[in-house]
Amino acid sequence: MTKIATEYLKSFKEFALKGNIVDLAVAVVVGGAFGKIVSSLVSDIVMPLVNPLIPGGDWREATVGQGIKVGAFAGTLVDFTVVAFVLFFVISTLAGLKRKSEEVSAPPAASPSEGPSSEENLARAIERLNAYLEKKS
């Protein structure tokens, strides 16, 4: 192989094996599996409960005119709504659990007598800002 091809393959290997790319690949695979679970939830549990309430049988097969599948579109909207709700529920639950674990593991607040006061921190910050501005001019 030529030097350019070798360099290109080396760069590609570094790119492909970065943590972010691997994490993204795992997320896509898990997301696909999660999509199948949600699709099954909608088609096998939610829709059998909804279909009897809608006159005309299987509303996902409803069409308007020749080939305009409004039922399929409505079904996709229902699928999206269920997916969005399930994701909201899962993310909210995980955020709540994370918040609780952070509250439990958070160190107690320092007493005011420990460390510099807010006024001292502000004074230091102003001094650093003034020094920076003097360097710039």
> Which distant-in-sequence residues (6+ apart) come within 8 Å of 75 by Cβ?
47, 59, 60
pLDDT tens for 1-45 read 688 888 888 888 877 777 677 788 888 999 899 888 877 887 788
Domain assignments of the chain as residue spans, ordered by start = 3-109
What global pTM score does this model have?
0.47
> Which SS3 state, helix, strand or coil, does residue 110 take?
coil
Q: Name the residue type at position 47.
A: M
- Determine what percent of the chain falls in helix, strand and coil, rounding each to the nearest 5: 80, 0, 20
If you search the block for the tokens 């609780």, which residue do you land on? 100
CB 74 within 8 A of CB 60: yes
Task: Read off φ and ψ for residue 69, nearest 5 degrees.
Answer: -95, 80
Task: Read off φ and ψ for residue 57, nearest 5 degrees.
Answer: 80, -135
* Average per-residue pLDDT for the chain: 80
19: number of Cβ within 10 Å: 7
Domain 3-109 has CATH 3.40.50.2300: no
pLDDT tens for 48-58 read 887 787 776 67
